Structure 1
Amino acid sequence: MQRKRLVFPVLAAMLGLGALSGCTGNETTPEQPGSAAGGNPSAQGSKFPSKLKISMFNQGTFNAAAPVPSREEDVQRQMLESAMNIDLNMVIPQAGQATTKLNTLIAGGDIPDLIFLKTRTDLAQYDDQGILADLTPYMDQFPELKKRFSEDSWDAMKYKGKIIAVPGYDNVNGVRSLFIRNDWLKKLNLQVPTTPDELFEVMKAFTERDPDGNGKKDTYGFIGGMNKEGVLQTYGFDVLMWMFGVNPPNAIDVKDNKPVLLFTDPRMKEALTYINRMMEAKVVDPDWVTMNTPDLLDQKLFKGKVGVMVRDARRLEPDAQQKMQEVGGEVPEWIIIPPMKGPYGDQILETKTYQSNSWAISVKAGKDKIIRILSMLEYLFTDEKVYPHYAYGVEGIHWKLVDGKVKNIIPELTKEVKDKYAWVDHYKFPRRGDDAEYFSFKNPKTAEAFTNNQQYVMPTLPGAGLTDDPNDSKAAERVRYINETLIKFMSGKEPLSNWDTYIKTLETKFDLQKYTDHITAQLKQQGYIK
């Protein structure tokens, strides 16, 4: 498979800046002294001689209800305005009203200079309307910003051969983890598995050899699930499929200059055969068919009757450990292990989440503002000295230096203090998605697992950024058929001897070739296929 090198960071999460006045025009005023944030790294002033007014439309904040302080109280804003010599005016729309608000501004000719967009569809739509600037000619002036995000994140910012945005914020990957009962391994004198076959034997032993010692056959080797739409992804079975280099339900890769539909790839049949073998051996908790929310899977983790699961690494944290004691009467020795290395050399936990969010710049902003805005984004995303001021909050309140290292102290704050400074959440979008300190893990093993998991996060697959064909009337039905059939194969309701029939049905009933032609054209446009 053609893989693009993954550069960690990884990320989901907080974004935004304070909601202030409405958008402004392309005004320039004589240079004025910036507001010095005492002790902050930007207080030395800006390299830009003239002040610009920059308007920002930020619909990505995770706390739009948080109060916005005055400029005198807003340390982050002072730092940013001083460093960039700008007057920053930001709009944060109310939840659920972002699109309406943005379209109203655009219709009125009051287009924001800097616009946060949540989806690639929005990005393409506004570019098609001629609203967004082509950033391609400017990017070589900002090498640190280019290095800050991985190649596949930048690929998501391209449209019709142009770079039309900067990645919005890091998505978070590597939190989902492969859990195993280490106390059961010790009890049964077993080693941590490293291959699919070893994993199967461990799961079989967990099912058949009474690892909890209660004299009852009431334990299982594995449990996964699927969401309420019947999709297997992110509920555990997908990690088993990744052992064979495939992923449900509609993942698309590129090999030998051609699209590879992983849901029809022969390796998918191998993955389904493996899971069906687990089902036949009864090592899978039969409740898997009802596991359609993360909370239900957590309950299985807390009860401690399953030996292998895919759960959030934060289940090693003290509050989750307490839940285990309350629900199961004990705190099992759960450990997080690397994903199995499959027959083709794949060792994958998950793919990097597609970079759907972005910062776009209005074509109306003009050259000077484009350069100033890109400078501002480079400053926010790459300046190590200011990083804790934006990622964590106010120095002395949200973080402090301990033995020369930044220590995030948010968990130690009282509710009163957290509420008083809730507005700092508007500034956290520069935080790195692989920053264990940002997440304030209390158990060192959680932070260790999160950090170790990063090496098993593979680049985003080429097909992640594809858009549906509006003329494909069979799209929804085809997806439903794929999901349902994969589940039937792995559960044994449909014999795997019918694999060729499944492929033939996709070709004849669901226009697989037409679908393939559509995605091939997009992959060519995006440069994955020459």
Structure 2
Amino acid sequence: MQRKKISFAILSAILGLGTLLSGCGGNEEVTSTTSSNSQGQSGQFATKMKISMFNQGTFNAAAPVPPRDEDVQRQMLEKEMNIDLDMMIPQAGQATTKLNTLIAGGDIPDLIFLKSRADLAQYYDQGVLADLTPYLDQFPELQKRFGNDSWEAMSYQGKTIGVPGYDNVNGISRSFFIRNDWLKKLNMEVPTTPDELFEVMKAFTEKDPDGNGKNDTYGFIGGMNKEGNLQTYGFDSLMWMFGVNPPSAIEIKDNEPIFLFIDPKMKEALAYINKMMEAKVVDPDWVTMNSPDLLDQKMFKGKVGFMIRDARRLEPDYQQKMKEISGEVPEWIVIPPMKGPYGDQIVERKSFQGNSWAISAKADKDKIIRILSMLNYLFTDEEAYPNFAYGIKGIHWDVVDGKIKNKTSELSKEMKEKYLWVDHYRMPRRGDDAEYFSFQNPKTAEAFKDNQQYVGPTLPGNLLTPDPSDTLDADRTRFINESLVKFMTGKEPLSNWDNFLQTLDTKFDMQKYKETAIKQFKEAGLIK
């Protein structure tokens, strides 16, 4: 399996999993995993080995570590691998300090979960971590378990120094919601293109879809965060219809970086949103929508017909909030993203793989093989999967009518609290496994599964780190954000687009930014 070189300068800027730990709280689907015990069949290892694990990848750092005789998952790992597993769960917020203390004292854990790629590179540079390159070809199923982009995130100086920690979750938080009851009333079909979507939004605004005789409905509501960035609040999803996105979005095509925020297609995306603004189909409150909670309130009030929100808004708790606030439960449905003029059909881009499993440089060959065998079993064994992803059979899940059924949502509060520690082992859960989330509404699971086909690949721009000598970086980013907002609202006419590009070059040294990007992409082996 080929790997690309990644420079430490790039690595130092990569963030950890962050908010995408939403997967830890509940989200995903059931896809089959491939069973391969070629490295870890019971009896494969004759000599018992002690393995120490520093597990800050737990989905619940506050949960206790149970005694061995109660810890079903630990017993499975120990029996399968013939090991004594000593698992350490650092307290939330203290993981880095605890790990550094262990390293300074020479007591380096054998297996270490790291939350950021920058940490992975730094500890390797310090001589703490082992190079896994010579061993991974013995584990083809483990290599297949994660995509190439995830493995590339484990690469540093031409070597593979980690194993992906767990899948990030995509295809749920940015779902295309539309009022199906309004479509029916206005005798309209689900839109499939930007033009059709505009006509629907216009009708939702002008044709009294709620039938109250008042001019109080809108086709769309979006927003931007408190820093003035349009990403994640809806408008960016509209831009993806044209294959572009704001500031950090950079693709590589024909061995050249394509800066999507200044690509000619961005001008088309802004013209589309400006058309929406001019037609007054956008709820004017969008300028105050700087948090997800505020957008939720708009959804609950039921006066907007199209939004980009989390598919879990179909779950009973959220449906109840809609009823409490608006007096009804609107018939919201999740639809595929529009197919844009260039063939783009994107719900969101796949999140960057930041988290990883690393192995101590003090581990000898036999221990490295044993640990990789354990990860291979943990992540690829089909029969073991539900025991780690869902919890304890008969309590958290069971086989019903020949199919696995996650019963977590049916458990009492007391039972959930009693078995909180199963969260220490959920890392193998797949990022597209709807059964893991134990959705109560089948439509939520359906929407989540359907969205997976519209998750685009990770953009290489995520690898870039600002050049310390580029003193204009922050001002440049701010100028880009502000200009995009001005263009889409009409405060700046799109006839001034060329002036915007020229100002980027002359006042904000866009050429320096381009050179920095090219240099780092070359170091990463992404362009020649």
Structure-1 separation of matches of 2:436 and 2:84: 29
Structure 1 portions without partners, runs of 5+: 1-10, 17-41
2:386 maps to what in 1?
Answer: 388
For residues 297-376 of structure 1, the aligned pairs below 5 Å read: 297-376=295-374
SS of residue matched to 1:72? helix
Contact 2:23 2:431 survives alignment (8 Å): no
SS of residue matched to 2:276? helix
Which of 42, 62, 67 is residue 65 of structure 1 equivalent to? Answer: 62
SS of residue matched to 2:69? coil
Contact 2:40 2:377 survives alignment (8 Å): no
**CA displacement, residues 61-94 of structure 1 (integer Å, 9 cap, x when unaligned):** 2311112111111111010011111111122211
The structural deviation recorded for 1:497 is 1.8
Structure-2 separation of matches of 1:73 and 1:480: 54
Contact 1:81 1:88 survives alignment (8 Å): yes
1:498 maps to what in 2?
Answer: 496
2:402 maps to what in 1?
Answer: 404
Deviates most, 509-518 or 166-175? 509-518
1:415 aligned onto 2:419: no
1:6 maps to what in 2?
Answer: none
Contact 1:59 1:92 survives alignment (8 Å): yes
For residues 257-272 of structure 1, the aligned pairs below 5 Å read: 257-272=255-270
Structure-2 separation of matches of 1:474 and 1:370: 46
The structural deviation recorded for 1:13 is 5.0
The structural deviation recorded for 1:15 is 6.8
Which of 273, 276, 296 is residue 275 of structure 1 equivalent to? Answer: 273
1:149 maps to what in 2?
Answer: 146
2:451 maps to what in 1?
Answer: 453
Q: Which amino acid aligns with 2:209?
A: P
Contact 1:316 1:443 survives alignment (8 Å): yes
1:217 aligned onto 2:186: no
Structure-2 separation of matches of 1:91 and 1:270: 53
The structural deviation recorded for 1:487 is 1.3
For residues 15-414 of structure 1, the aligned pairs below 5 Å read: 45-175=42-172, 176-414=174-412
SS of residue matched to 1:53? strand
1:24 maps to what in 2?
Answer: none
Contact 1:14 1:428 survives alignment (8 Å): no
The structural deviation recorded for 1:45 is 3.2
Q: Which amino acid aligns with 2:437?
A: F
SS of residue matched to 1:306? coil
The structural deviation recorded for 1:383 is 0.4
**CA displacement, residues 412-465 of structure 1 (integer Å, 9 cap, x when unaligned):** 111111111111111101101111111111111111111000000011011112
Q: Which amino acid aligns with 2:92?
A: A
Structure 2 portions without partners, runs of 5+: 1-19, 26-38
Structure-2 separation of matches of 1:13 and 1:108: 34
**CA displacement, residues 274-306 of structure 1 (integer Å, 9 cap, x when unaligned):** 101101110000011111111111111111100
| TM-score normalised per structure 1 | 0.91
The structural deviation recorded for 1:56 is 1.4
Contact 1:244 1:267 survives alignment (8 Å): yes
The structural deviation recorded for 1:262 is 1.1
Q: Which one scores higher on RCO, CA 8 angstroms, separation ≥ 6?
A: 2
Q: Which amino acid aligns with 1:152?
A: D
Structure-2 separation of matches of 1:480 and 1:282: 26
**CA displacement, residues 327-386 of structure 1 (integer Å, 9 cap, x when unaligned):** 111111111110000010010100001111111112221221211111111111110101
Structure-1 separation of matches of 2:40 and 2:401: 24
1:472 maps to what in 2?
Answer: 470
1:437 aligned onto 2:435: yes
Aligned residues: 496
**CA displacement, residues 261-280 of structure 1 (integer Å, 9 cap, x when unaligned):** 11111111111111011011
Q: Which amino acid aligns with 2:249?
A: A
Q: Which amino acid aligns with 2:77?
A: L
| TM-score normalised per structure 2 | 0.91
